[in-house]
Amino acid sequence: MLPSFFDLTLADLTDVLVARGLNKFSAGQIYDWVYKKHVRDPAEWTNVSKETRAWLAESYDFRLPKIVWQGLSVDGTRKFLVGFTDGNTVETVAIPARDRLTLCVSSQVGCAIGCTFCYTATQGLKRHLKPGEVVGQFLAAQEWLTKNVGEDARLTNIVYMGQGEPLHNYENIKKATQIYLEPKGMGLGQRRITLSTSGLVPAIEKLIEFPPVNIAISLHAAHNDVRTELMPINKVYDLERLFKAIKTIPLKAHRRITYEYLLIDGLNDGIADVEGLASLLPKGESKVNLIPFNEFPGSKYKRPSEKTVFWFMQQMESRGITCTVRTTKGTDILAACGQLKSAYEDGRLNLWDDRSQTRPTNASTSPQVPAPQ
Ligand code: SF4
């Protein structure tokens, strides 16, 4: 099985060309063909030498992941089921807003973090996604949208809020982000990408080495006992450790930290939670996204009333914390926050039967949650 071309950052591509004795300046031209002109067949790259084209064509796989299913919500949110060469699938969701079309991408097949409110958690972690599989979700979804909706359906923003904990897959997500940002390729702006984390402290402390994108921290509770109930990661990295790590994030470069707070009826939506949250967050520079809980099959939590959500928001704002209520999108197709789960998990799809490629063995090495430090 050939390695995917989409795993290569521009620097990686330059290195492999140099190692092969080929012209390193072709790397930028190749990125331009693949990511700007969307021409993935090396035979068509007219300004790249024949030798380089031939070598890349026989050394790398230029295929994108496959869209195996898609569904459209009544509110315009579109969920894609994306399939990889080993038969695993993840979900990726395109969410329209007035001036943008955001793709919520997955970073792992399943997730090891085990948040008790999350549908993805019920499938456990199968494996990390490679950079090309993360970038491929965007490219495959964009290709589908262009073909089936039209040229105007352009994805503009990315949030790493699909399946998985992105910082548990730090190196691959860092590479994928570099590929998204590369001006000679996709050229997405730093402000258009948001990295979300459940609070993996050792990786948060390494964000200084990460491209300067927006950061979202999933808080969901202001007290350790409630947060541990919702997010077992809090047993290892509690609120004190988390906020100590948050202080190490280079704010100037990252510009903005958003705190995600899932509102659950009767669990974290009372006055003690308002007061706890207000005392945790630095005034003036914190923004809280309130997310009324989205119920899913078998979920044990309930969504609070609209009155409670509004009251919570007002209480926070009266304490100097900027607050927004995230409009819930895509609930009718289970595409909303915390509702994503890979389909076909008991019987992998054989996606590659129609191609003359040898089906690969599963590259999974059963990654472990990083040990506490
Ligand atoms: S909410 Fe995110 S981090 Fe928590 S289990 Fe679900 S996918 Fe993993």
**Pairing relation of β-strands 157-160 and 100-104?**
parallel
Question: How much distance in Å is there from the Cα of 316 to the middle of ligand 1?
Answer: 25
CB neighbour class for 326 (10 Å; exposed up to 12, middle 13-18, buried from 19): middle
Atom of ligand 1 nearest to the CA of 108: 7
The answer, yes or no, to whether any atom of ligand 1 lies below 6 A from the CB of 179, is: no
- Banded model confidence at residue 365, pLDDT cuts 50, 70, 90: very low
pTM of the model: 0.88
For this structure, is 111 an active site residue?
no
Would you say 200 and 82 are in contact if contact means Cβ atoms under 8 Å apart? no
Q: At what angle do helices 170-181 and 131-148 cross, to 10 degrees?
A: 40
Would you say 370 and 168 are in contact if contact means Cβ atoms under 8 Å apart? yes
Cα distance between residue 218 and residue 271, in whole Å: 20
Question: How much distance in Å is there from the Cα of 167 to the middle of ligand 1?
Answer: 11
Atom of ligand 1 nearest to the CA of 161: 2
Give the count of alpha carbons within 13 A of 28, CB side only: 3
Instruction: Please tell me which residue in 104, 111, 115, 337 is annotated as part of the active site.
Output: 337
Q: Ligand 1 atom 3: the closest Cα is on which residue?
A: 165
**DSSP string across 344-373:** STTS---TTTTSSSPPPPP------PPPP-
Pocket test for ligand 1, best of 90, 106, 118 (most atoms within 8 A of CB): 118
Question: How much distance in Å is there from the Cα of 219 to the middle of ligand 1?
Answer: 12
Give the highest mean pLDDT range of 119-123, 261-265, 356-360: 261-265
pLDDT at 289: 94
CATH number for the 66-333 domain, one of 3.20.20.70, 3.30.70.100, 3.30.420.40, 3.40.1390.20?
3.20.20.70
**pLDDT at residue 361 tops 50:** no
**DSSP string across 83-100:** E-TTS-EEEEEEEEETTE
User: Which whole number is the average pLDDT over 117-138?
Assistant: 93
pLDDT at 329: 64
- Can you tell me whether residue 194 is helix, strand or coil? strand
The answer, yes or no, to whether any atom of ligand 1 lies below 6 A from the CB of 196, is: no
**Which part of the chain has CATH 1.10.150.530?**
5-59
Cα distance between residue 278 and residue 334, in whole Å: 31
User: Which whole number is the average pLDDT over 247-258?
Assistant: 76
Cα distance between residue 153 and residue 36, in whole Å: 16
The answer, yes or no, to whether any atom of ligand 1 lies below 6 A from the CB of 108, is: no
Pocket test for ligand 1, best of 119, 165, 262 (most atoms within 8 A of CB): 165
**Tokens 């510009």 correspond to what residue?**
255
Pocket test for ligand 1, best of 163, 168, 198, 264 (most atoms within 8 A of CB): 198
**pLDDT at residue 293 tops 80:** yes
pLDDT at 214: 93
For this structure, is 337 an active site residue?
yes
CB neighbour class for 21 (10 Å; exposed up to 12, middle 13-18, buried from 19): exposed
CATH number for the 5-59 domain, one of 1.10.645.10, 3.40.50.300, 2.60.120.10, 1.10.150.530?
1.10.150.530
Summarised one tens digit per residue, pLDDT across range 294-328 is 887 778 899 999 999 999 999 999 999 999 997 76
**Which part of the chain has CATH 3.20.20.70?**
66-333
Question: How much distance in Å is there from the Cα of 247 to the middle of ligand 1?
Answer: 23
Cα distance between residue 45 and residue 59, in whole Å: 16
Q: Ligand 1 atom 4: the closest Cα is on which residue?
A: 115
